[in-house]
Amino acid sequence: MTTRPLHMHATAVAICGKGVLLRGPSGSGKSDLALRLAEHEDCQLIADDQVMFEQGKDQLIMRPAPLLAGKLEVRGIGIVSHENIEQCALHLVVDLTSEITRMPQKQQMQTTIMGRSCNRIFLEPFEISATAKLRIAVQLLD
């Protein structure tokens, strides 16, 4: 049985080669956080605004929507061209919110996408430490 690709309103980046999905409502800081992460040599944009998922052999593969590949929304400036990579396996889901639990329960650290369990954290994207926290989470959740 073949699973149809999933299309999600989100942003995806790779940190040290590990795919990170940034989820949140419009205006929650997905593109802004991706822009700040892209300043680091070991971080690349995969997709902004629309992420396509496909089932890989042992993992979910994230790709940009074809019409938006290599594009990034910079609020106040517009849609700009931005270097991106074509695909990356999902490693971590980040739900953007301003309500952060200091010490989350283990069940809060998981979510499901296309029937697969995924590591998840919650992050306040506009905190000055957001990029550092996200990079730490990628390293810790191996």
Would you give per-residue pLDDT tens digits along the chain (142 residues)? 456 778 899 999 999 999 999 999 999 999 999 999 999 999 999 999 999 999 988 899 999 999 999 999 999 999 999 999 999 999 999 999 988 877 777 667 889 999 899 999 999 999 999 999 999 999 988 7
| Residues composing the chain | 142
The pLDDT score that the predictor gives to residue 1 is 46
Domain positions in the chain: 6-140
Q: What is the pLDDT of residue 109?
A: 86
- For the domain 6-140, what is the CATH code? 3.40.50.300
Is the pTM higher than 0.75? yes
Largest alpha-carbon pair distance within the chain? 45
Q: What are the distances in angstroms from CA 21 to CA 2, 10, 16, 108, 134?
A: 23, 7, 14, 16, 11
CA 127 to chain centre: 17
